[in-house]
Amino acid sequence: MKRARLIYNPTSGREEMRRRLADILARLDAGGIEASCHATTGEGDATIAAADAVERGYDMIIAAGGDGTLNEVINGMAEKENRPPLGVFPLGTTNDFARALGIPRSWEDYCDLVIGQQTRPTDLGKANHRYFINIAGGGSLTELTYEVPSKLKTMIGQLAYYWKGLEKMVSLSPQELIIRADGQEEMHDEFMLFLIANTNSVGGFEKLAPHATIDDGLFDVIALRKCNLAEMIRLVTMALRGDHLNDKKIVHFKTDYMEVSSPGYVQLNLDGELGGTLPATFRNLPRHLEIFR
Ligand SMILES: Nc1ncnc2c1ncn2[C@@H]1O[C@H](COP(=O)(O)OP(=O)(O)OP(=O)(O)O)[C@@H](O)[C@H]1O
């Protein structure tokens, strides 16, 4: 038998784990995996639980929840020397990372995936002293995810994001940013937002960074220059189809290291959670984790 630590957020998504836990444990057990559980209690708890699971020598860690839970778990694992394989069990309102990797949403298929034990290497991102697995970003639009109260998220799910997004678009303001990246000329300009993508799935936009791959050791950087609401709507429409990258309002390049600073106050968003403020350095840690997929 292999030993797994299942770290789950009981409040995530529509509290699916409360209903399914016994079935999940039974299916894993039948497949040769003995899982013990940790239900998270609040912010930061999944980080402590993941670090603890690495120390205790589990054969694998499974993070069950949304992107927030996943981010906390990778933050508990990233600095450890012997990192066991990670399972990403998508149960949240937003599971951008799992969606980008094509990880199954049904619990039966997910258990079978873990039982199959096939892993693939995955890059991690480091922003100052914190880690991200899917996306880092800054600018006025990215404030969106943590302004949606979590109760509201559980109730109306993904709709909460779109609603908040529409409300936000009219109150966008540009930020002055200085961007330095390996292989790029320094930029000092006004931007609406910048995104540093590790995968191609960001906030429900599947084609925002269509060329981003998870194991190439590089980020796809996308920055939107200062523009008005009409241009913004035009670009969002183009981004839904993946046609935005050649637009003159868009800066797009790949890099494994970059620095962003601003004379103003700019908050960072890491995998949909608040992640400090600028200035920041962003570093790609190539193939830092093995993930079941
Ligand atoms: N028992 C708990 N009660 C309340 N909040 C919790 C609890 N456990 C964890 N959390 C917090 O909930 C946050 C968000 O959860 P998670 O990402 O799993 O799913 P979600 O609520 O569906 O939202 P999203 O997928 O959009 O981030 C986590 O970052 C964590 O800080």
Which atom of ligand 1 is closest in space to residue 161's alpha carbon? 26
The CA 191 to ligand 1 mean position distance, Å, reads 30
Specify the pLDDT at position 292.
Answer: 98
Domains of the chain: residue spans and CATH: 2-117 (3.40.50.10330), 130-287 (2.60.200.40)
Which atom of ligand 1 is closest in space to residue 68's alpha carbon? 17
Ligand 1 pocket, 90 CB below 6 A?
Answer: no
The CA 145 to ligand 1 mean position distance, Å, reads 12
Model pLDDT for residues 233-256, shown as the tens digit of each residue: 888 788 878 888 899 999 999 999
When pLDDT is averaged across residues 44-61 and rounded to a whole number, the result is 98
Q: Which residue has the tokens 């993070």?
A: 63
What confidence tier does 203 reach under pLDDT thresholds 50, 70, 90?
low
When pLDDT is averaged across residues 43-60 and rounded to a whole number, the result is 98
The CA 92 to ligand 1 mean position distance, Å, reads 8
Which atom of ligand 1 is closest in space to residue 93's alpha carbon? 22
275 in Cβ contact with 260 (< 8 Å) = no
What lies within 8 Å, CB to CB, of 125 at 6+ separation is 131, 132, 133, 136, 196, 198, 219, 270, 282, 283, 284, 285
- Annotated catalytic residues are 273
Ligand 1 pocket, 42 CB below 6 A?
Answer: yes
pTM of the model: 0.90
Specify the pLDDT at position 77.
Answer: 98
When pLDDT is averaged across residues 188-202 and rounded to a whole number, the result is 87
Return the half-sphere exposure (C-beta side, CA atoms, 13 A cut-off) of residue 227: 19
Ligand 1 pocket, 203 CB below 6 A?
Answer: no
Which residue has a Cα nearest atom 29 of ligand 1?
68
Ligand 1 pocket test, candidate residues 6, 7, 8, 12, most atoms within 8 A of CB: 12
Ligand 1 pocket, 87 CB below 6 A?
Answer: no
- % of residues, the chain, pLDDT over 90: 60
Encoded tokens for 87: 């399972």
DSSP string across the chain: -EEEEEEE-TTSTTTHHHHHHHHHHHHHHHTTEEEEEEE--STTHHHHHHHHHHHTT-SEEEEEESHHHHHHHHHHHTT-SSPPPEEEEE-SS--HHHHHHT---SHHHHHHHHHHT-EEEEEEEEETTEEESSEEEEESGGGHHHHS-HHHHHHHTTHHHHHHHHHHHTT---EEEEEEETTS--EEEEEEEEEEESSS-BTTBTTSSTT--TTSS-EEEEEEES--HHHHHHHHHHHHHT--TTSTTEEEEEESEEEEE-SS--EEEETTEEEEESSEEEEEEEEEEEEE-
Ligand 1 pocket, 13 CB below 6 A?
Answer: yes
The CA 151 to ligand 1 mean position distance, Å, reads 10
Model pLDDT for residues 104-156, shown as the tens digit of each residue: 999 999 999 999 999 999 999 999 999 999 989 887 644 445 555 554 444 44
Ligand 1 pocket, 99 CB below 6 A?
Answer: no
The CA 270 to ligand 1 mean position distance, Å, reads 14
